[in-house]
Amino acid sequence: MLLVLIALFAVAGIAPFIFRVLGRSTFYVLAAVPALAFVWLVANFSSFTGTDQSIASGGPNAPPSELYSWIGPLNAHLDFRMDALSAVLCLLVLGVGALVLFYCARYFKNEDPHTGAFGAQLLAFAASMFGLVTADDMLLLFIFWELTTILSFLLIGFNRTRMSARRSALTALMVTTFGGLTMLAGLIMLGHAAGTYRISEIMAMAPELTALGTYIDVAIALVLIGAISKSALVPFHFWLPGAMAAPTPVSAYLHAAAMVKAGIYLVARLAPGFDQTAFWQPMLLWVGLATMLIGGWRALRQHDLKLLLAYGTVSQLGFLILILGMGTPNAYLAGLAMMLAHGFFKATLFLIVGIIDHKSGTRDIHQLSGLYKSSPLLFVVAAIAAASMAGFPPVFGFVAKEAVFESLLEHARGNGATGVVLLIGVVIGAMMTFAYSARFLWGGFAAKAGMKTTTFPKVPLLFLTPLLVLTAATVVFAWIPQVLEGAIAPYIGLFGPAEDPIHLGLWHGFTPALGLSILTMVIGALLFLGRKRIFAFQSRVPPVFDAERDYKFLITILDNLAIWLTGRTQRGSLSFYLVVILTVALVLPATTAILLNTPAPGNFIAFDHPAQLVIGLIMVVGAIGAVQANRRFLAVLMVSVSGYGMAAIFALQGAPDLAVTQLLVETIVLVAFVLALRALPVELWAKNPTGHRLGRALIGIGFGASMIYIAATSMASRVADPISLAYPELAYTGGAGKNIVNVTLVDMRAWDTFGEITVLAAAATGVASLIFVRGRGDKRLRVAAVPSGSVDHGSEAIGGKNPSRAGLKVARTFAASARDSWLVAGHTLAPERRSITFEVVTRLLFHTILLASVYLLLAGHNTPGGGFAGGLLAGLALTIRYLAGGRVELAEATPVSPGTLMGTGLGLAALTAAVPLFFGAQMFTSAAIEFTWPLFGEHKFVTSTIFDIGVYLVVVGLVIDVLRSLGSEIDDRSEGRSPTDTHDMVSDAETGVGR
């Protein structure tokens, strides 16, 4: 059976491709798959029914099963089992499925859009139903259950240009998913109690489970809610009439064999073990009765044939659930027979409506007339199907209904008033069913007074074939019902012997059931004849119970709540979000620290070194100065003060690596700030941009204070020795390096560092993209292409706004003699932008610094330094060169694009991660290679140095990207005017104030 399932899904998967070749004839190919499976099913039927149905899968003489382990820890398995119940359901799923697909080949046209997707979805729908009824694992069943939900959503919404289709699809999805999730909760409760999710095992241990009492009662009730929503029972029934927005073949399948039958199946599946639990009978009986009556009542007033049928299905589903809810063996027999009968006639009726719609262009009773003459064969088929629906002899629907009446009478005898009420209710429902069946036949085919005969082309036989097959089943099984009874019987056997077993048959003699049937037909006929009066009556009474209205009301409340909540929390103000986050971050840990009796902070020392006090004071002054400063660069400088202070603190604390890195970063950041912000106005704000200063100050101070408290507490709470006590030894023996921090970065915690340089590369690319917008701007500027003295023309001169005339003259002379320039591209700069001293110093320093950076990189393994510090120093060298020689100089200094640099860097790092794997070691394992070179003496090379070179390259790339983007590119854009000139372009722009 797994093979069947795979075949169904696989063909569904390739269906769109077949459609490209064969067009709508592909539906025949698709139909062949379930048809073949149907043949397989029938051929092996006795092997499914001839076994002991009560034995759990895997046991001796159990029905055939295929068990595969799937997610062990979750107890989820790919278990399939084909017992009598599954097989009976499969008859419908595969048989009707094949016929509906066959029908589609004539229903659709070759030029219809998306038929490929449609065919695939419909076949996948059949496959999911097949999986659902054969799954022997509750979680697997749930998965197929939800698959049918999703596929029905797609199929109902197939006419995506119609709002009604989209909306109905969404309603169906919401309602059935709600039910599905409720069911999942019930299934998990059940599986948890049983210790297994295998359905057959759970059924075998049902007596022990029901002994658990309320727990299982609730679990079963939750599962039933899922079934009720899926089978469109009150109060969830409204999604099914809406679902008729689907193409008619889908409706036929949905109503007759799939989706709604899943709920019926689930009830039937659990019935043998759990039909005596507390909520079972009350839920099913009353929900079923209410659904049957409401559906019938509504069906009576519909003038759209399809909608009439849809409400008819609602009514019939209620009927079916009610029968299964009675809980007697006879009732289960009657229920399954009724389900089959319903499958046969309901599919036929929908397909008929499809043909009528297809050929006449309407389904409206008020617009159809005289079809019985135009298409007599269609009329005969319709008459038989409608008779089956109405319970009119001699067709299978009558046989099933007789059995239902028999079991209802039996139930009424044993259950007093309840039984009688149910009996009366069902008889009324059956009368309505008779009336709307008649109404369907009359509405679709009768010649109505005062209406001209509807134009109706001849219906091709191929189009009719599926209907004929189904009709044949309806007729034939009325005369040989024992075939179907034989198929159902093994399942009924699970409920023990009936006191007075009934059998399916056309004639049982003059029984009370026959009397009820005749009564039903007579009153039903009267109801049909008095249809105008009933219609008028229905229009007068307002609907007592309108679930669709309630559903809309509920959704509106949800909408309102969502908007209200969103409006309260998502205000669009970043500061608001931050205040919320920070307040939580402030209150929560502080409260916890106090409540949890953490040790009081203690063991205070004022400082490690008196200099800390001085540096700390400077840092505080810098930080507070940054708050006070209104001029943009002053604020930046103030922050820098506290940053440089950090470097000093690091140095004092015994962290030379940190001190070096902080110093370099601080410098480059300062340059970056100046470069980026030069286009912005000098003042930070024209008037103080935001209020709430006191509030912000409170949050800030509160946060600072609570951080002090938390830090002090956590330091006082330390009981264990730090893990890093082992680091020195590890670094020296394992990492072959003396600089413990560096070895930590490139060896012991190399994964961290690898992640970090990836972030650096991403950030660098981000900066470049933000400024260049299109691409990374890798096209290189060459000095030969740039005329002398052209770059940065019009920008502020070095040495103030009005440089001395003499100075400018010297600069011009200097610029003219391009030959002996100190820098490669120095002469391209505008004369007033040049500084000879700077160029000379740069010339002298650049290579020295670069060499120093390489030294830092290579020596970093043993002495302070490493890839980060080295890369930053190299970046600083390039910064100097850019500042002295302008953007052409920078371009000349960096022949390799930063993207390439960072790519190479990441590549090298990845290489040191991967290569050790080939030597059977873990990722990032380093090795020390010792060698002797003449002249250079003995050397030790540690492979993690290669990783460090990668870090170096990435950092250099990052700095270059910053310089090129925030420096060169902004230069280029503000060429010919002072960068701050842009300020004048928006004369009335009040910076710092919201737009």
Partner 1 sequence: MSTNITLLIVMGILFAVGIYLLLERSLTRVLLGIVVLGNGVNLLILSAGGRRGEAPLYKSALDAQEYSDPLPQALILTAIVITFAVTAFMLGIIYRSWVISRADVVADDDEDLRVSQQSTFDFEEDSPVPEDTTEFEGDESVPAGNTKEAGPSA
Site residues (CB under 8 A) for partner 1, limited to 520-579: 531-532, 535, 552, 555-556, 559-560, 563, 566-568, 570-575, 578-579
Q: Which of residues 148-167 bind partner 1 (CB under 8 A)?
A: 159, 162-164, 166-167
Q: CB count, 10 Å around CB of 764?
A: 25
Q: Which long-range contacts (CB under 8 A, 24 or more apart) does 61-66 make?
A: 62/200, 64/1, 65/136, 65/200, 66/1, 66/2
**457 binds partner 1 per the rule CB under 8 A:** yes
What gap in Å lies between CA 677 and CA 672, rounded to an integer? 8
**Within positions 879 to 938, which residues make up the interface with partner 1, using CB under 8 A?**
none
Nearest CB to partner 1, comparing residues 354 and 419: 354
φ, ψ at 276 (rounded to 5°): -105, 5
Asked if 767 is part of the footprint of partner 1 (rule: CB under 8 A), the reply reads: yes
Provide the β-strand partners of residue 939: 931
Q: Is 113 in the site for partner 1 (CB under 8 A)?
A: no
Q: Distance between CA 456 and CA 452 in Å, rounded? A: 12
Interface pick for partner 1 out of 72, 654, 800, 934 (rule CB under 8 A): 654
- Is 74 a binding residue for partner 1 by CB under 8 A? The answer is no
446 binds partner 1 (CB under 8 A): no
CB of 568 to partner 1, least distance (A): 8
What residues between 590 and 629 interact with partner 1 by CB under 8 A?
601-609, 612-613, 616, 619-620, 623-624, 626-627
Among 195, 599, 728, 976, binds partner 1 (CB under 8 A): 728
Near partner 1 by CB under 8 A: residue from 39, 472, 770, 844: 770
What's the rounded Cα separation, in Å, for the pair 180 and 714? 48
Rounded to a whole number of angstroms, the minimum distance from the CB of residue 651 to partner 1 is 9
SS3 839: helix
Q: Is 701 in the site for partner 1 (CB under 8 A)?
A: yes
Cβ-based nearer residue to partner 1, 691 or 934: 691
* Minimum separation from the CB atom of position 174 to partner 1 (A): 11
Rounded CA-CA distance 371/874 in Å is 91
Q: Are 384 and 475 in contact (CB under 8 A)?
A: yes
State yes or no: residue 739 binds partner 1 (CB under 8 A). Answer: yes
Contact between residue 407 and residue 400 where contact means Cβ atoms under 8 Å apart = no
Q: Which of 272, 180, 172, 159 is nearest to 222 (CA)?
A: 180
From 304, 892, 948, 971, residue interacting with partner 1 (rule: CB under 8 A): 304
Whole-number minimum distance, CB 238 to partner 1, in Å?
14
Whether the CB-CB separation of 255 and 129 falls below 8 Å is answered with no
The DSSP symbol for 79 reads: E
Q: What is the 3-state secondary structure (H, E, C) of 138-200?
A: HHHHHHHHHHHHHHHHHHHCCCCCCHHHHHHHHHHHHHHHHHHHHHHHHHHHHHHHHCCCEHH
Check binding of 855 to partner 1 (CB under 8 A): no
**94 token code pair:** 């595969």
114 binds partner 1 (CB under 8 A): no
Smaller CB separation from partner 1, 17 or 607: 607
User: Of 132, 639, 791, 913, which one interacts with partner 1 (CB under 8 A)?
Assistant: 639
Left (φ > 0), alpha (ψ -120 to 50) or beta: where does 720 sit?
A: beta
State both tokens at 651: 């140095």
How is residue 626 written in tokens? 């940054």
Nearer to partner 1, 626 or 836 (CB): 626
* Selected binder of partner 1 within 36, 174, 221, 679 (CB under 8 A): 679
- Footprint of partner 1 on 862-881 (CB under 8 A): 862-864, 868, 872
Encode 344-357: b = buried (16+ Cβ within 10 Å), e = exposed: bbbbbbbbbbbbbb
Stretch that binds partner 1, among 30-38, 339-347, 712-720, 817-825 (CB under 8 A): 712-720
Considering beta carbons, is residue 491 or 650 the nearer one to partner 1? Answer: 650
Per CB under 8 A, the segment of 259-267, 288-296, 856-864, 902-910 that binds partner 1 is: 856-864
- Per-position x/- string for 486-505, each x denoting binding to partner 1 as judged by CB under 8 A, each - no binding: --------------------
Task: Give dist(CA 29, CA 16) in Å, integer.
Answer: 12
**23 belongs to the binding site for partner 1 (CB under 8 A):** no
Q: Rounded distance, CA 716 to CA 382, Å?
A: 87
DSSP states of 850-868: HHHHHHHHHHTTTSS--HH
Residue 101 near partner 1 by CB under 8 A: no
Which of 642, 835, 926, 968 touches partner 1 (CB under 8 A)? 642
Binding of partner 1 at residue 673 (CB under 8 A)? yes
State the sign of the Cα–Cα–Cα–Cα dihedral 810, 812, 816, 820.
positive
Residues of this chain, 355-394, that bind partner 1 according to CB under 8 A: 357-368
- 684 touches partner 1 by CB under 8 A: yes
Among 7, 525, 646, 824, binds partner 1 (CB under 8 A): 646
CA–CA separation, 737 and 726 (whole Å): 14
Number of residues that bind partner 1 (CB under 8 A): 166
With binding defined as CB under 8 A, does residue 462 bind partner 1?
Answer: no
Distance CA 170, CA 551 (A): 12
The answer to the question of residue 712 lying near partner 1 (CB under 8 A) is yes
* Candidate segments 262-270, 401-409, 492-500, 954-962, binder of partner 1 by CB under 8 A: 954-962
CB 169 → partner 1: shortest distance, Å? 12
CB of residue 229 vs partner 1: minimum separation in angstroms? 20
- Distance of closest approach, residue 619 Cβ to partner 1, in angstroms: 6
Judge contact between 548 and 436, C-beta under 8 A.
Answer: no
- Select the residue interacting with partner 1 from 380, 697, 911, 927 (CB under 8 A): 697
Residue 445 has a CB neighbour count (10 Å cut-off) of 24
If residue 80 lies in a helix (H) or strand (E), which one and from where to where?
Answer: strand 76-81
Question: Does residue 731 bind partner 1 (CB under 8 A)?
Answer: yes
Q: Which position among 153, 456, 924, 947 is part of the footprint of partner 1 (CB under 8 A)?
A: 456
Tell me: does residue 687 bind partner 1 (CB under 8 A): no
Per CB under 8 A, the segment of 182-190, 425-433, 519-527, 711-719 that binds partner 1 is 711-719
- Dihedral over Cα of 279, 284, 285, 290: its sign: positive
**What does DSSP say about strands 76-81 and 65-71: parallel, antiparallel, or unpaired?**
antiparallel
* Helix (H), strand (E), coil (C) string for 322-345: HHHHCCCHHHHHHHHHHHHHHHHH
Extract the tokens encoding 527.
């109801």
Binding to partner 1 in span 209-268, by CB under 8 A: 247-248
Out of 260, 341, 400, 771, the residue judged to bind partner 1 by CB under 8 A: 771
Could you tell me the smallest distance in angstroms from the CB atom of residue 292 to partner 1? 22
Contact 87, 63 (CB under 8 A): no
Residue closer to partner 1 by CB (options 423, 668) is 668
Please return the burial class of 584, using the count of CB atoms within 10 Å of its CB with bins 0-12, 13-18 and 19+.
exposed
The distance from CA 214 to its chain's CA centroid, rounded to whole angstroms, is 35
In degrees rounded to 5, what are phi and psi of residue 46?
-65, -25
Joined together, the tokens standing for residue 279 give 């909520």
| Rounded least distance, CB 525 to partner 1, Å | 16
Is 758 an interacting residue with respect to partner 1 (CB under 8 A)? no
Candidates 128-136, 430-438, 452-460, 914-922 — which segment interacts with partner 1 by CB under 8 A?
A: 452-460
CB of residue 127 vs partner 1: minimum separation in angstroms?
A: 25
Q: Contact between 136 and partner 1 (CB under 8 A)?
A: no
**Least distance in Å: CB of 89 to partner 1?**
29
